[in-house]
Structure 1
Amino acid sequence: MLDFDPEAMVMAVQDGVLEHVQLERGVFRGRIVHTAAPASRIDWGSYALSVLARGDLSPEMVTITLGLGGCGDWRAHGQAAANGDMIVFPEGGELLIALPPKAQWLSVQVPRARLEAAGLALGRCLDGSARRMAGVINHGLRQTLVDLAPVLAPPAHSPRFDDAAVAIAHDELLASLFGELARRGSASDTGAALSPGERWRVIRRAEAFLENRADPSVRIDDLCVAACTSLSRLERAFHETFGTSPRRYLMLRRLAAVRRELLRGEPQQSITDIATRWGFFHLGRFSQEYREHFAERPSQTLQTQRAVPASTHLA
């Protein structure tokens, strides 16, 4: 989508019916990338000029809109907003946003059940009206978006990733977003301390769930359901037990899975193939994380293992 085409922009947000009005003079340039997973939809867009977007959103899913960047203020339902803000709309919510020039935005649609499973109480936005939260996009969430951009917003002519990779990218972004919301105190049980017994039960349930999962895709809300707790309490249990967040713990498990495959030294497997299969799509970031964690580059692990004689493998 290069020129301003109102018909093409009606479906800027999946399953929504929106009207766009160009607010400033000039030649409009824009791009929107749509991706869908079994329980989420994501749209990543950028517009060169200021536009007004209004209309009705998905009647089936909660819509979370993030302002990633732009030259100037946003206007959401008549109120000033800024880059880094988030607006949550209930199912069938009405959107009315004026985007600044050079705006970049993200729209995430999830079933209400996923928010409830994570114990996220987002207040009045789930009672019928939109809710704005300022400054949600912090450094960690921005880095997640950079890491997932090859899947969620690939260059126009690059090959698209398969459905499994898209699902992993969706779950990774939602885990990061949900974690930030939980840390902001949006969960209904914020502040309630965990007893040692409850903490142990949460961890054992989570571990039992993970031990039965051989694939790289683990939804953070499924982990909450398995552990019989909310995300805020899951976060607290993991920090108190392992000294890290559930999301980073899941990442470290995937990193360990990559190392196991590299240590097998299968000749037909490349580092890129293995890394992407386990949900690492920004290869530069993956290599840095791997090197910092294991004190060697992925290529060194693979080369060392392939250099071992076959008789040694059998010993």
Structure 2
Amino acid sequence: MGQFAALRTRKIKGFEELNEVVLGTRREIVQLERGKITGELTHATIGDLPVDMATFNLGIRTRGGSHRDRIGIGMLAASGGRAMRSTYQSHPGDVLVTQPGSEHENRYYGGASVIVVLTSVTDIESSFGTEGPMSDPALWRRNHFKGNAETISEVIPRLQSLLGRLDRISLSAAAAEYWKRAVIEAVTANIVAGMPSERNGPLPSALRIVRQVEEYLDARAADAVHISEICSQLHLSRRTLHRAFHEALGVGPIAFLRDRRLCAVHTALRAQKDIQTISDVAMHYGFQNIGRFAGYYRQLFGEYPSETRQRHTAA
């Protein structure tokens, strides 16, 4: 892995090891169900973003304090039985937000899998600075947010897959920044849905906004750029960005950014002589699911990535 991502995974052989579910916090664990507890702890960093995951097979009670400097966003990825986090009954996909220095008490029956992302105030301001209430950490004090079917079927597997790949890929600083923003967006999607919407106002020139976005992307031509970075740097809300792209180009900004990244992959595959695997090139440009990436690539260029590389390697 590159210097901008790190991963450490170890097996759980006793409940005591669950004291370290989230590094930098303190907690007390009591095993509630009989049997040999097993599972796995994963500690990762993407850029400067800590991401922790724990999977265990038996019921436990956990009590302790949150991180003293960072806001914890904990997603219940799976549950073997009833899960009580704080005073809320949680289901897979639900998100619990813990403020810095706060106390918590959770109970899991039948085992569970939990993903915890530790965001800083700077992360929130950078990711949501143009989204009105979302940029104020104080408004996150409503600390339990319900998940939905998309969270369970799409977001959780994507997060788990990304964490599983961090020890097999090398990320540049720019790629790490992209994936850091993607993780924050994934775990906060339910929070965004629960916040008040931005007010509707007159839309500035749609074409001017699109040109500003393209100029910013051109200056970062070799990098994958997350939509939250564009909004932050150009001081645009997501709603304004979506309206501008649909009005000026007839497509949304996410589809437009994806096609630009696919073009960057195409150029990279033509230029490289098998220095990197196709999977690594795709990951650098913000594509994690290789099967889905290959499908997008073929739809746009009429051939698979391997065919592009083979044609230009043989040339």
Residue type of the alignment partner of 1:89: T
Match status 1:290 vs 2:300:
no
RCO higher in structure (CA 8 A, sep ≥6): 2
Q: What is residue 45 of structure 2 aligned with on the other side?
A: 36
Distance change in 2, residues 1:264/1:75 (3 Å):
same
Q: What is residue 22 of structure 1 aligned with on the other side?
A: 31
Do the aligned residues in 2 keep the contact of 1:194 with 1:237 (CA within 8 Å)?
Answer: no
Residue type of the alignment partner of 2:47: P
Q: By how many angstroms is 1:114 displaced?
A: 2.6
Match status 1:171 vs 2:171:
no
Q: By how many angstroms is 1:12 displaced?
A: 0.9
Distance change in 2, residues 1:215/1:51 (3 Å):
farther
Q: What is residue 195 of structure 1 aligned with on the other side?
A: 203
Q: What is residue 12 of structure 2 aligned with on the other side?
A: 2
Q: What is residue 277 of structure 1 aligned with on the other side?
A: 284
Q: What is residue 3 of structure 2 aligned with on the other side?
A: none
Do the aligned residues in 1 keep the contact of 2:74 with 2:115 (CA within 8 Å)?
Answer: yes
**Could you say what secondary structure the match of 1:64 adopts?**
strand
Distance 1:120 1:21 in 2: 41
Residue type of the alignment partner of 1:271: I
**Could you say what secondary structure the match of 2:20 adopts?**
coil
Which stretch of the first structure deviates more once superposed, 206-215 or 75-84?
206-215
Determine which of 132, 138, 152 is the counterpart of 2:163: 152
Unaligned runs of 5+ in 1: 309-315
Match status 1:161 vs 2:169:
yes
Q: What is residue 73 of structure 1 aligned with on the other side?
A: 82
Q: What is residue 146 of structure 2 aligned with on the other side?
A: 134
Residue type of the alignment partner of 1:153: G
Do the aligned residues in 1 keep the contact of 2:169 with 2:280 (CA within 8 Å)?
Answer: no
Which stretch of the first structure deviates more once superposed, 110-119 or 18-27?
110-119
Normalised by the size of structure 1, how large is the TM-score?
A: 0.80
Distance 1:130 1:151 in 2: 28
Match status 1:56 vs 2:65:
yes
Residue type of the alignment partner of 1:209: Y
Distance change in 2, residues 1:248/1:9 (3 Å):
farther
Residue type of the alignment partner of 2:219: N
Q: By how many angstroms is 1:24 displaced?
A: 0.9
Q: By how many angstroms is 1:180 displaced?
A: 5.5
Match status 1:250 vs 2:257:
yes
Unaligned runs of 5+ in 2: 1-10
Which stretch of the first structure deviates more once superposed, 211-220 or 50-59?
211-220
Cα deviation code 1:158-195 (max 9, x no counterpart): 9443453655433222234455644x262x55241442
Normalised by the size of structure 2, how large is the TM-score?
A: 0.80
Q: What is residue 93 of structure 2 aligned with on the other side?
A: 84
Distance 2:199 2:40 in 1: 42
Distance change in 2, residues 1:41/1:189 (3 Å):
same
Cα deviation code 1:64-97 (max 9, x no counterpart): 1111111233212222221111112222232222
State the percentage of identical aligned residues: 25
Distance 2:241 2:266 in 1: 27
Q: By how many angstroms is 1:125 displaced?
A: 6.9
**Could you say what secondary structure the match of 2:107 adopts?**
strand
How well do the aligned residues superpose, as a CA RMSD in angstroms? Answer: 3.1
Q: By how many angstroms is 1:152 displaced?
A: 0.9
Cα deviation code 1:6-57 (max 9, x no counterpart): 2x32221132112222111111012121111334211122111121222111
Distance 1:252 1:33 in 2: 33
Distance 1:228 1:194 in 2: 15
Distance change in 2, residues 1:147/1:241 (3 Å):
farther
Q: What is residue 208 of structure 1 aligned with on the other side?
A: 215
Q: By how many angstroms is 1:131 displaced?
A: 1.2
**Could you say what secondary structure the match of 1:26 adopts?**
coil
Do the aligned residues in 2 keep the contact of 1:291 with 1:298 (CA within 8 Å)?
Answer: yes
Q: By how many angstroms is 1:141 displaced?
A: 7.1
Distance 2:67 2:281 in 1: 36
Do the aligned residues in 2 keep the contact of 1:71 with 1:101 (CA within 8 Å)?
Answer: yes
